[in-house]
Structure 1
């Protein structure tokens, strides 16, 4: 199956089942799919805690559990079966090159470099941070490397590390979005390891005229930089996505320490407890208002849950809710049973975690659709493109790599895998 055929198949499957993956259970108490597949809703809500933990941490086990009642899961898996890219042996890295790089990040850099073909000329590390990838590529490729980063503090650290490692690495401090930045792309192989959202899409939008020889892009954080609706990169893209929906594609993470997971679960429970309290207060107010106005059909106002400062979550549940109520201009009753609403939040959190198992069965398919949209965007702009995995999920779930080489003049458009 070539890239476009795979992309269109994924798009059709996602469009047909959007009632499953679009609604977020955090915001929708019972997503519409619960009525279409009532047996599945009953089964998932009835899972014990150990099963929820296991299925949440193991996407393949979760898919196997879902397949009998949701057959599309098998079709999604087949459409997302991209191969591992060929790897090459790399020269051993000097210990100085690894200075200050966390172990997981260092392993990602090694995998990225090993699964990308040799560069035939100068390289540009896009959105470089401290230039860790660029330093390693400078040693591997024996080519000049420029590393572009907007943060001057990170640029200064990148310069220090490059001097210490004695590699040919130029640090370019600049904004990747300004037109002047694109002059650094011309004539280079551009490498982007987990450049977020619009930062990696910006490369594709300008690829037809920027003059790069090649691109090596491992995308990440697809929701970042989206101003309203997602703007597709290829001509056949039809899914309408916003930042909230794009965030689904990156909800799969490598399992965090239990302490962090417990804290996140508690934070979500507190937010849901406040939502339950707020809704009860406003229902009571609406009922009184309807009684006065004799209007039983008065609609309730929709609500969005905006992010909260992390410092608020360092208080107790009552303090958290009072801060939020002030922000939301919600007038709380004089007497509130805080223990009741905290338990209500925990109950809702348990429901949300179970319902999300079904929604999460679509997140890898959505990520593949986004990566293929990027790949086809490069293909339509004059590049031969290959897409595959460059590392195991255990190292990073963002393990898809797009390799693009500028097509020779008059050569036919490829349908690479």
Structure 2
């Protein structure tokens, strides 16, 4: 696999290559099989469509769980994807240092969260300035960093209950950590970012983008960010940081970047599959009654309705949507249709899913290139294994000017 250089000009070139590839492949990743039974690419690539629909459940699960095995298989039918693994490769960041802290320090920290916080901390390197934890929740990351490097910590978090819980934990852990109940999207902040080491582990969408903008404007010396949930805070169309890209992304496109279920348990996956099948069954019923084949979106549906059975699920939805139902509905037919369509959708979605990391890396490189334009030296890579969290990309920026 090609190792890409890490200078600003090379990163800009890589972003431009991704930009071009994603534009040329829009036909493959923009259509949503849930909303249209057969995307246009099914007619353009009939052999691929047929091969996907013939996949066994075991093959589907393998491709869904291990994207690295999906791309070579798809490239048999789509040779233009050969470059994708090279463009989306990221090395693991160096400076992995074991975090030697007693287990009691991690009380009240969920196991997976603890592993992510330890991996982030071990990758960070030396902390020589006061810490600013952005959207920190209970302050798990800031508290560990403050303890390891003996630095004061300021944690910004909008949820008052999380702040109160974090304060108790910091007192128990004997860490100098102050919490502020704060919406970081507001113009006024209780602290300035100058002379700080700002960290953010999985601050969603507009929150991590705001930290980058505020950090640059206030000349923050050090920024370490693991982005997450890129669609949050995007109205309809994404506004990139850099002005040399051509790709136009919508909010739905950004959601695609974070649809992996690698950390989901079996029960969560079964619930996801049932929910998709029942939505498809209901949409079929609604189309049959209205005579319209156009997809009609549904507002979020309470998960508790999935425990009521398919018939009551549809009755509740029909009542909420103001849909008048006849008395002689063949519920079993619509349920079986939903299950059949769910099976098809999950297979056709593999083509779209092949571009998830490419879109995510386009978004990340857009931020990285802009930071470099603003005078920062940036390291980019992964801070933990994908199995721990698919959102394992870390932007580590140090101001030079």
- What is the TM-score normalised by the length of structure 2? 0.94
* Cα displacement (A) at 1:87: 1.9
- Residue 330 of structure 2 corresponds to residue 322 of structure 1: no
Matches within 5 A, 1:54-203: 54-181=62-189, 183-203=191-211
* Cα displacement (A) at 1:153: 0.5
RMSD (CA atoms): 1.6
Equivalent-residue separation in structure 2 for 1:175 and 1:327 (angstroms)? 33
Q: Is the 8 A contact 1:234 1:380 kept in 2?
A: no
Which of 255, 260, 265 is the equivalent residue of 1:257? Answer: 265
- Residue 54 of structure 2 corresponds to residue 46 of structure 1: yes
Q: Which residue of 2 aligns with 1:385?
A: 378
Equivalent-residue separation in structure 2 for 1:95 and 1:275 (angstroms)? 50
SS at 1:266 equivalent: helix
Matches within 5 A, 1:305-320: 305-320=298-313
Q: Is the 8 A contact 1:385 1:402 kept in 2?
A: yes
Equivalent-residue separation in structure 1 for 2:48 and 2:55 (angstroms)? 11
- Residue 363 of structure 2 corresponds to residue 370 of structure 1: yes
Alignment size in residue pairs:
393
Q: Which residue of 2 aligns with 1:12?
A: 20
- Residue 356 of structure 2 corresponds to residue 348 of structure 1: no
Which of 15, 33, 38 is the equivalent residue of 1:25? Answer: 33
Q: Select the structure of larger CA radius of gyration.
A: 1
Q: Is the 8 A contact 2:35 2:295 kept in 1?
A: no
Q: Which residue of 2 aligns with 1:235?
A: 243
Equivalent-residue separation in structure 2 for 1:257 and 1:90 (angstroms)? 28
Equivalent-residue separation in structure 1 for 2:212 and 2:173 (angstroms)? 32
CA deviation vs aligned residue, 1:144-166 (integer Å, no higher than 9, x gap): 11111111100001000000000
Equivalent-residue separation in structure 2 for 1:319 and 1:77 (angstroms)? 45
SS at 2:354 equivalent: helix
Q: Give 5+ residue unaligned stretches, structure 2.
A: none
Which of 383, 406, 413 is the equivalent residue of 2:399? Answer: 406
* Cα displacement (A) at 1:182: 7.1
* Cα displacement (A) at 1:89: 2.1
Equivalent-residue separation in structure 2 for 1:47 and 1:396 (angstroms)? 27
SS at 2:355 equivalent: helix
* Cα displacement (A) at 1:331: 2.2
Equivalent-residue separation in structure 1 for 2:353 and 2:298 (angstroms)? 21
* Cα displacement (A) at 1:302: 5.2
* Cα displacement (A) at 1:255: 4.2
Q: Which residue of 2 aligns with 1:291?
A: none
- What is the TM-score normalised by the length of structure 1? 0.91
Q: Could you list the structure 1 runs, at least 4 aligned residues long, displaced by more than 6 angstroms after superposition.
A: none
* Cα displacement (A) at 1:53: 1.6
* Cα displacement (A) at 1:83: 1.2
Q: Is the 8 A contact 2:180 2:190 kept in 1?
A: no
Equivalent-residue separation in structure 2 for 1:79 and 1:3 (angstroms)? 10
SS at 1:93 equivalent: coil
Q: Which residue of 2 aligns with 1:339?
A: 332
Q: Is the 8 A contact 1:124 1:189 kept in 2?
A: yes
